[in-house]
Amino acid sequence: MKFRDRLVGLRKQKGYNQNYIAIYMGVSQVSISNWERGLKEPNFQSLIDLANLFGVSCDFLLGVSDKAETEEKL
């Protein structure tokens, strides 16, 4: 599954709209739309912020892992 698909799925699962995420992220709604359509990709910090917003790992967002939960390592 691609990043854009994961982003759309998580956004809908949480009941967020693109404008809410844009305000949270400090970016334009157009940026969120472009990410969801696969036209652009977020920078590293935005990816981290998205992972924190949705409570998932960056690996999950990027499609590297199917495990959504983050693992705390001490």
Second CATH level (architecture) for the domain 3-62: Orthogonal Bundle (1.10)
Q: How many CB atoms lie within 10 A of CB 66?
A: 8
| Predicted local confidence at residue 34, as pLDDT | 97
pLDDT at 74 over 60: no
**Domain ranges (residues) in the chain:** 3-62
Which tens digits make up the pLDDT trace of 32-73? 999 999 999 999 999 999 999 999 999 999 988 776 665 554
Average pLDDT over residues 15-39: 96
Average pLDDT over residues 1-15: 94
| Predicted local confidence at residue 71, as pLDDT | 53
DSSP 72: -
Among candidate residues 29, 28, 36, the one with its CA nearest the CA of residue 61: 36
Query: pTM to 2 decimals?
Result: 0.84
> First-to-last CA distance in the chain?
30
